[in-house]
Chain A
Amino acid sequence: MSTFLRLSLHIKFPLSSIAGSRQIHMTNSLLELRKLARVRCVDNSAIGKQAMAEGRPPKIIHVYNKKAIATIGDKVLCTVKGEMKKAIVVGVKKHQRHGIPRSDTNNIVFIDDNGTPLGTRILAPIPMLLRKVLKEKTIAKGADYTKVLAIASRFV
């Protein structure tokens, strides 16, 4: 049984040394969502569908938290088709802790400033964790992020 150390090079010696070139340091990709990360829109909003069909996916330009790394449930600001739109991250590629699902693509759902989603349905399964996370983020008489849960088709 082999342990897969995520933060170290899994190739045990540098391939560059065979070719005779300089050694380069390689780390596994952390698969974190930062600024300029391209994400996939999984709701049926018009702007999202057009962007994905064109092959110009939304890009994160700002993450609304202190760490500037977006995970499940974080609000982000994206550029899509030349416009700036807010979104909620509903799926990440990064390896997660016990019980939290990891999806094959980084998924987002567009929302407006009040937390109302732009689409009417979410086409991909979203983690059950969002129920708790979005409720915590919701401010009374402010933005209600739990509206996103209402349009979800399946929880995982």
Chain B
Amino acid sequence: MIGRTMLAGYKTLVRLALNAYPSCLQAQVRCSSSSNKLFQVQPGSPSLSTSAKVSLEPSEEVTTSNSQLESSHNNSDVKESSNPRTRQTAQRELEDTFTPFRYVYPEFLPDPNLKFRNRIKEKLERLDMLHRRSQVDIPEFYVGSIMSVTVSDVNAPGKTTTFVGICMQREFTGLKSNFTLRNVVDGMGIEICYDLYNPTIQNITCLRLEKRLDDNLRYLRDAPLEYSTFPFDMTPEVKNPDAPVPINPLKIKLNPRPWTAKWHLWDLKGIEDVSHTLEDWQLRKLKTWKFLTGDEVKNVDLMKTYRSTIPVEEQVEIYSEFAPQLVSISQSMKKQKRKRTFSKPTKSA
């Protein structure tokens, strides 16, 4: 959830923006009259401190949580107009403000594949996504988090179905964005794919917010069922919202082959080493494969990175447009939750 650090950061941001780009940024940062309170500039407010690294790699292990979305508070007060800000510093600070959003709201970014880019469609979709988020609280979650989803189902006896499972993967962007939950029910591995913005979803709760070492956990299908079993009556684990999202360093031992996919060829960090199960020719092929597509190559292949990510400037453009609404929605959802869970204390004689 977005905390007070978020708000303070925005106030500072606007101050910077007004100093650096009076006309063009004011046009960009559109907000309704009700959320204008967020942008009241106060003298002597804490300055922005950069805690989030800016990088192009989306798969980088970042542990910034939703409440650290802006930046951490700097206790020292900085005078408003003591140093003239350069264009570069302002831009960099903008980036530092908004790039953490891509971990909490990754579906707001468009598909990096140029074939599927359509600016108008993206803008319209984002508006719809915001509206949906104002109706249903879509929490922050990552692959590896354990979640509970309640869907309205005509075929169910109580007209709703609840499913609990570990988030195995998150696919696509925009309104198409979905996530798959996996659990083992009566000894049978069950996976259900849910569209994040489907109107039949009544409730999404993150029971345990954590990350895993991999982008997707499809290898759980070839792992012992214990790794995918989670109780349906699990209670949400309350954690410090300002703490970074914990990364579960679990290394899974896969079942003996055959597997549903060639997991040894995938760059998986969350499984135990399987090279001892491979034959000599497979090891040789694996060696060539790693030489051609390994980590060393990934770090140097700029075009691959470019084709699979959205440039930082564009991310800033997108998130700066929607950040105020997202913040206000998040806060109102928090309030609603508190209201619902609050039970009036009864008088005891």
Binding site for B on A (CB under 8 A): 1-4, 11-13, 15, 18-19, 42, 91, 95-105, 107, 123-125, 128-129, 131-132, 153-156
Contact = CB atoms under 8 A, between A and B. Distances in A.
Contacts of B114: none
* Interface residue tally on B, bucketed by range: 35 or more
Interface of B: 58-59, 106-107, 109, 111, 113, 151, 153-156, 161, 163, 169-173, 178, 185-195, 198, 200, 215-216, 221, 265, 285, 288-289, 292-293, 308
Nearest to B221: A104
A11 B173 CA distance: 22
Contacts of B216: 2, 4
Specify the main secondary structure of chain B where it touches its partner. mixed
Contacts of B265: 11
A125 B285 contact: no
A1 B173 contact: yes
B185 A154 contact: yes
Given A128-B155, A131-B155, A99 B191 contact: no
B188 A125 contact: yes
Given A101-B190, A153-B186, 16 more contacts: A1-B170, A2-B215, A2-B216, A3-B113, A3-B172, A18-B285, A97-B193, A99-B153, A99-B194, A99-B198, A101-B163, A102-B192, A103-B188, A103-B190, A104-B190, A105-B188
B185 A125 contact: yes
A115 B186 CA distance: 25
Max chain A C-beta neighbours (<10 A), residue from B187, B189, B192, B308: B192
A141 B260 CA distance: 44
A12 B288 CA distance: 14
Contacts of A11: 265
A12 to B, nearest CB: 8
Contacts of B186: 123-125, 153-154
A98 B193 contact: yes
Nearest to B281: A19
A129 B111 CA distance: 32
A93 B187 CA distance: 15
Nearest to A107: B188
Given A1-B173, A3-B111, A18 B188 contact: no
Contacts of A1: 58, 106-107, 109, 170-171, 173, 215
Contacts of A129: 155
A105 B109 CA distance: 35
Contacts of A102: 190-193
B194 A156 contact: no
Contacts of A100: 192-193
